[in-house]
Structure 1
Amino acid sequence: MVKEVRIFFSKSNQIMYSFKIAHKIKTIRGKLEMIKTDKDFHHSESLDEKRVMNIEKRETHSFVHVEKVIGRDNDKNKVVELLLDSNVDKNVSIISIFGFGGLGKTTLAQLLYNDENIIKHFQSKMWVCVSDNFKVKIIVEKILKSTTSKKPEGLELDQLQESL
């Protein structure tokens, strides 16, 4: 009798094994249902949609708490060196800062914008936020507003470019 009871509860018994698996599946389904009904969990929204919405709403500024920035000195010094290079023959040089979100690109730009050497070297400076989905007209309007402190009203892109 004892041997038969052991066999009944052993892994080789298909009835008992099926019962255990069914119980585990029921527990997992219950947990999944709790996650589904959790009001903070929105499984229908994709991460890309959230990222695009955040980028469109995001507006940057030029102020930075320098004492809170860690590990950007080398990058900053390299870009400052490029910006202050007197061997450049061109009127305008472009230095791109690019990479994945969260790497500190905006922080690096803020550090450069507020650097004493940059402030002394350049006659004027402007901070304009440009997102992935940008319109040239809006950017030109922002640049003009930054230089004149007035938003240009009712001008076409060609007129805006002339003003710029």
Structure 2
Amino acid sequence: MTNGYVKSWMKELKSIAYKADDVLDDFQYEALRRHSKNGRSTSQKVHGYITRRSPLLFRFEMSRKLKTILEKTNKLLEEMNKFGLENSVHREEPQHPWRQTHSKLDDSTKIFGREYDKEVVVKLLLDQQDQHKVQVLPIIGMGGLGKMTLAKMVYNDQEVQQHFQLKMWHCVSDNFDPIALLKSIIQLAENKRSDMPDTIEMLRKQLEGLIGQKRFILFLDDVWNENKRIWEDELKPLLCSVGGPGSIIVVTTRSQKVASIMQTLRPHQLECLNEQDSWELFAHKAFSNGVEEQAELASIGRRIVNKCGGLLLLSRQWVDC
């Protein structure tokens, strides 16, 4: 703000922001006005079309205002380069938070409402034993539904552990780079960290030598990649050309597009918990640490559960609050 040009630019930006806010207020007022007009007579409605508040005139006026605001905003964006501000804008937090997950399931953790989903998925995996091509099963659902928990339940299931000769778990998140992904899978197959080449052809040969005809299951947790080319042209030919009959790749994702790109099997859609399971989860968290389940507290808890709409993550966060 010590730079006179930047100070002037900020003042203009503030002015445009206020004008944009005024336009939003106009839209809100018009919406309320039309809502209140629904009960008026036909003659009153016809008369409204020739007044200054007619829909046609409103559209014209708003179009003109929006055009002016957008033109001034674009001009301000162009001027950003002069002050070195553009990089600051582009250094926003990443599109999806990077994280690492693991396959270990805490035996002391009580899981609610996912036994049926687990049985369905496990049966589907075991039923692929005669398939000679590697199958891909997406587990799909919005954030907070427990996709990772379900995947861990399946991964640690005794039948799954006995059925597959090689079991691997890799958290993908934003890093869908083929070389990085192949290196991780090779290390998981070897069960040790080792130096590896950076050429994808050498990695392919190493992967083939390690997996061979073993029946494997690979969990790719938290996949966000919606670039069909990366999967179809680069990763699918590598990951789906190894392994014995019945090999499976399980993908957890929030994105319908990711599922449609990768699937060979119909995705397992994870739904919200029903009311009873939601309450049991909430009550277990809220009243398990020596807190007595009083009628008044239980009544409040049930109202909270109803507002959470079956989302596990929201239920747990409410308890923590």
Residues 97 and 152 of structure 1, relative CA distance in 2, 3 Å threshold = farther
1:32-63 CA distance string (max 9 Å, x none): xxxxxxxxxxxxxxxxx657352x2x100001
Seen in structure 2, the aligned counterparts of structure 1 residues 144 and 133 have a Cα distance that, compared at 3 Å, is: closer
- Whether the 8 Å CA contact 1:141–1:152 is kept in 2: the answer is no
Aligned pairs for 1:84-163 (under 5 A) are: 84-85=126-127, 88-148=130-190, 149-163=192-206
Percent of aligned positions that are identical: 39
Q: Which residue in the other structure is 1:62 paired with?
A: 103
Q: Which residue of 1 aligns with 2:31?
A: none
Q: Which stretch of the first structure deviates more once superposed, 136-145 or 124-133?
A: 124-133
Larger RCO of the pair (alpha carbons < 8 Å, separation 6+): 2
Checking the alignment, whether the CA contact within 8 Å between 1:144 and 1:151 is kept in structure 2 is: no
Paired letter, 1:60: T
> Which residue of structure 1 aligns with residue 20 of structure 2?
none
Task: Tell me which residue corresponds to 1:81.
Answer: 123
CA distance in 1, matches of 2:146, 2:113: 10
Judge conservation of contact 2:140–2:147 (CA < 8 Å) in 1.
Answer: yes
Change (3 A) 1:121 1:106: same
Residue identity in the other structure for 2:100: E
Query: Closer, same or farther in 2 for the Cα pair 1:79/1:122, shift >3 Å?
Result: same
**5+ unaligned residues in a row in structure 1: which ranges?**
1-48
Aligned-partner SS, 1:52 = coil
Secondary structure of 1:74's match? helix
**Contact between 1:144 and 1:152, CA under 8 Å: does it hold in 2?**
no
Tell me how many residue pairs correspond in the alignment.
114
Per the TM alignment, residue 155 of structure 1 is displaced from its structure 2 partner at its CA by 2.9
Change (3 A) 1:86 1:140: closer
- Aligned AA for 2:194? K
Residue aligned with 1:138, SS = helix
**Following the alignment from structure 2 to structure 1, what is the Cα–Cα distance between the partners of residues 127 and 169?**
21
Residue 114 of structure 2 corresponds to 72
Q: CA deviation at 1:68?
A: 2.1
Quote the Cα distance in structure 1 between the aligned partners of 2:159 and 2:93.
39
- How far apart are residue 138 of structure 1 and its match? 0.7
Paired amino acid for 2:153: L
C-alpha displacement at 1:69, in angstroms? 1.6
1:161 CA displacement:
1.5
Q: Equivalent residue of 2:171, what SS?
A: coil
SS state of the match for residue 129, structure 1?
A: strand
Name structure 2 gaps, 5 residues minimum: 1-91, 208-321
- One-letter amino acid of the counterpart of residue 61, structure 1: H
Q: Is the 8 A contact 2:183 2:203 kept in 1?
A: yes
Residues of 2 paired with 1:77 and 1:130: CA distance?
25
Taking a change above 3 Å as real, the CA distance of residues 117 and 90 of structure 1, as seen in their structure-2 partners, is same
